[in-house]
Amino acid sequence: MNGAAWLHLASSVLVYSGPSWRAATILARRWTSDAGAGAGRALASPRGRRLDVLADALGLVGMAGLLWAACATMTDRPLADVGPMMGTLLGTTAVGRTGLVSLGLLASVTIVDVGRRPSRRREGGVLGLLALFAFSRACAGHAGDSGLFSFDVLVEAVHLSSVAVWFGIVAVAAWFALPACAARDLPGTLRSLSETATIALAGVVASGLYNAWERVGSVQNLAGNAYGVTLVAKLAFVAGAVALGAYNRFIGFPALTRSTAARARVMAILRIESLLLLAALAAAARLVTQEPPAARDVASGRSACQGKVKSCVKLLPAVSVTGGAVFVVPPTDAMGVYVAAAPASGMKASTELGSYAATSGAATGRASV
Amino acid sequence: MRVVRSTAAGWAAGLLLATPLAWSHAHLRNSVPAAQAQLAAAPSAIVLTFDERIEPAMSSIAIKDAAGHDAAKAASHADASDPATMRLDLPALVPGAYTVRWVAVGRDGHRRTGEFTFTVKG
């Protein structure tokens, strides 16, 4: 990873975790209005509001860092040299324009939060601004090409937002709200926390399975490529968090009121869970910069047909066998993407295309048999 | 009910964290002239078509002759009718081998590079 990749990673974590904290404190205030009065006071205290503004600021810094890293990546320049190109980035590219909108929305959230007491109306406004911010982020990248409300974008949004809400509520509860919660109010507050985390987990699992199928294609694709390794690491972090959450829900919370040691153990486990989820967010941020194996397969012509033979057949206009190799001949003079899709003479259904080369103006795909 | 409402609000807010995953980087789908082409007549332009829209300000085509010198002084530009196509207008090329190097930055900011050669016959 170069400097731009590290900056992108760090900035992404800030963009995820800062607003995630902000959304979670709004949620937590809802819980603590009928349970955990001590936690409610802490969230509404000057210190709690300062933390909200700090979270807003971290999101802003992260967004600026994302744009800086994007400029370095897009221009292939060192981070220190991209300053003169930032104007071009912000003024002429989709990444820059949507980034500017995102920055403006986060700045608006910060302005709303600074120096004002929280109220339901104000928090509703913050949620609205955050929703607009979400829309601006969704417009960046390929989502803009596939349609603003495409199913894949929706699924990805649900997946990342589920992880983020999960992280936010666990982090807010573990590091701020629960330590201030009176012992008698803990069970009610933790019940609300647990119910929300369970709903978020359901979103993570459902959308994660869909994404894994679409982007990885097969279990074999998890190995031998950076995307697969990062995805496995992310799954490990999430699995660890699930295990800790399950322990707390079924063992830790019921024993909470019995001793101070039990309470300390629950807090410690919640904090470890929040750190695991932060690591999962970092892995998710890293995945955004990596090319999924399924997409790479389609582009390079390697085993893109696993599980999708019908759609690939259309890409295979003709097959001829010459010597020990199969050549896939495209219909037009072109170099690029052709995949073997159906069994042909001397060719297995699972044939993988190797390199492809262009000759006499027509591209050919070469496959081993 | 309060928890459900709060959760729904949280999900809506959580959408702010959504960043669409990049499905792929820009891949070259078609080139004129084709890679390794042997041309009887010099082409008037290099035209590259990718499988997704590209950012013209961040993308480029360069052409070098066999000695490694720039064979075209003009800058490449996006095709007005197809945002996935990039074009470099050429001067009259003398016979010889040429190498085309391209940089394509997708709309999502991902950068991809590549090169191919072709020959103009004498």
Question: What tens digit of pLDDT does each residue of A204-249 get?
Answer: 888 778 777 766 666 776 777 787 888 889 889 989 999 998 898 8
* Secondary structure letter of residue A352 according to DSSP: -
- Contact assignment for B16 to A93 by CB distance below 8 Å: no
For range A278-291, the mean pLDDT: 78
* A139 or A345, greater pLDDT: A139
Can you give the pLDDT at residue B13?
45
CA B49, B53, B56, B57 torsion-angle sign: negative
What is the rounded CA–CA span in Å between residue A49 and residue B101?
A: 53
Q: Strands A325-328, A362-368: parallel, antiparallel or unpaired by DSSP?
A: antiparallel
- Contact assignment for A34 to B16 by CB distance below 8 Å: no
Q: Which residues of A touch B19 (CB under 8 A)?
A: 12, 15, 137-138, 140-141, 156, 160, 285, 288
Among the ranges A29-43, A133-147, A244-258, B86-100, which has the highest mean pLDDT value?
B86-100
For range B2-13, the mean pLDDT: 49
Nearest-neighbour CA in chain A from B111: distance (Å) = 6
Question: Which stretches within A93-185 are classed as H helix?
Answer: 94-113, 120-139, 143-146, 151-172
For range A254-280, the mean pLDDT: 86
Residue in A168, A289, A281, A206 with CA at minimum distance from that of residue B20: A289
Interface of B with A in 6-45 (CB under 8 A): 6-7, 9-25, 27-38
Can you give the pLDDT at residue A148?
65
pLDDT digits (tens, 9 = 90+) for A71-99: 998 998 999 999 999 999 999 888 898 89
Residue in A2, A8, A27 to test binding to B, most B beta-carbons within 10 Å? A27
- Contact assignment for A361 to B25 by CB distance below 8 Å: no
Q: Which residue has the tokens 């890679």?
A: B35
Least CA distance to B28: which residue of chain A? A336
* A141 or A22, greater pLDDT: A22
Nearest 5°: phi and psi at A334? -160, 150
Can you give the pLDDT at residue A296?
52
What is the rounded CA–CA span in Å between residue A334 and residue B63?
A: 19
Can you give the pLDDT at residue A1?
75
Q: Which residues of B touch A163 (CB under 8 A)?
A: 17
- Closest CB from A127, A141, A288 relative to B9: A127
- For A74, the token pair is 């897009």
B13-31 CB burial, b ≥16 within 10 A, e <16: bbbbbbbbbbbbbbbbbbb
Can you give the pLDDT at residue A32?
65
Would the pLDDT of A304 be above 50?
no
Residue in A130, A100, A99, A98 with CA at minimum distance from that of residue A113: A130
- Taking each continuous run of H as one helix and of E as one strand, the counts in chain A are 13, 4
- Report helix, strand or coil for B33: coil
- Closest CB from A20, A33, A358 relative to B35: A358
User: What value, to the nearest 5°, has the Cα angle with vertex A6 and ends A113 and B23?
Assistant: 90
Would the pLDDT of A159 be above 50?
yes
Residue in A8, A14, A30 to test binding to B, most B beta-carbons within 10 Å? A30
Q: Which residues of A touch B9 (CB under 8 A)?
A: 26-27, 30, 127
Interface of A with B in 9-38 (CB under 8 A): 12, 15-16, 19-20, 22-24, 26-27, 30-31, 33-34
Interface of A with B in 133-192 (CB under 8 A): 133-135, 137-138, 140-145, 152-153, 156-158, 160-165, 168-169, 192
Q: What percent of chain A has pLDDT over 90?
A: 17
pLDDT digits (tens, 9 = 90+) for B104-121: 998 778 888 889 999 999
Can you give the pLDDT at residue B2?
52
Would the pLDDT of A124 be above 80?
yes
pLDDT digits (tens, 9 = 90+) for B56-100: 999 999 999 999 999 998 889 988 888 899 999 999 999 999 999
What is the rounded CA–CA span in Å between residue A357 and residue B94?
A: 25
* A115 or B71, greater pLDDT: B71
Q: Which residues of A touch B31 (CB under 8 A)?
A: 334-335
- Closest CB from A140, A143, A335 relative to B34: A335
Distance separating the N- and C-terminal Cα atoms of chain A: 36
A216 contacts B23 by C-beta, under 8 angstroms: no
- Report helix, strand or coil for A356: strand
For range A139-160, the mean pLDDT: 66
Confidence of residue B21 (pLDDT cuts 50, 70, 90): very low
Can you give the pLDDT at residue B62?
94
CA A91 to chain centre: 26
What is the rounded CA–CA span in Å between residue A118 and residue A114?
A: 10
What is the rounded CA–CA span in Å between residue B17 and residue A368?
A: 44
Q: Which amino acid is at A259?
A: S
Chain B contact for A92, CB < 8 A? Answer: yes
What is the rounded CA–CA span in Å between residue A294 and residue A304?
A: 7
Mean pLDDT of chain A: 72
Would the pLDDT of B47 be above 90?
yes
A39 contacts A178 by C-beta, under 8 angstroms: yes
- Closest CB from A127, A131, A337 relative to B29: A337
Whether the complex's predicted ipTM is more than 0.85 is answered with no
What is the rounded CA–CA span in Å between residue B11 and residue A358?
A: 49
Mean pLDDT of chain B: 81
* A314 or A65, greater pLDDT: A65
pTM (2 d.p.): 0.71
Contacts of residue A253, defined as CB under 8 A and 6 or more positions apart, other chains included, come to A187, A190, A191, A194, A266
For range A11-35, the mean pLDDT: 80
Least CA distance to A356: which residue of chain B? B35
Confidence of residue A326 (pLDDT cuts 50, 70, 90): very low
CA A221, A304, B58, B92 torsion-angle sign: positive
Contacts of residue A132, defined as CB under 8 A and 6 or more positions apart, other chains included, come to A105
In this predicted structure, which of A215-229, A317-331, B39-53, B59-73 has the lowest mean pLDDT?
Answer: A317-331
Q: What percent of chain A has pLDDT over 70?
A: 69
- Contact assignment for A141 to B22 by CB distance below 8 Å: yes
What is the rounded CA–CA span in Å between residue A260 and residue A334?
A: 71
Can you give the pLDDT at residue A33?
57
How many CA within 13 A on the CB side of residue A51?
19
B10 contacts A23 by C-beta, under 8 angstroms: yes
* A158 or A217, greater pLDDT: A158
Would the pLDDT of A299 be above 70?
no
**Bridge partners (DSSP) listed for residue B82:** none
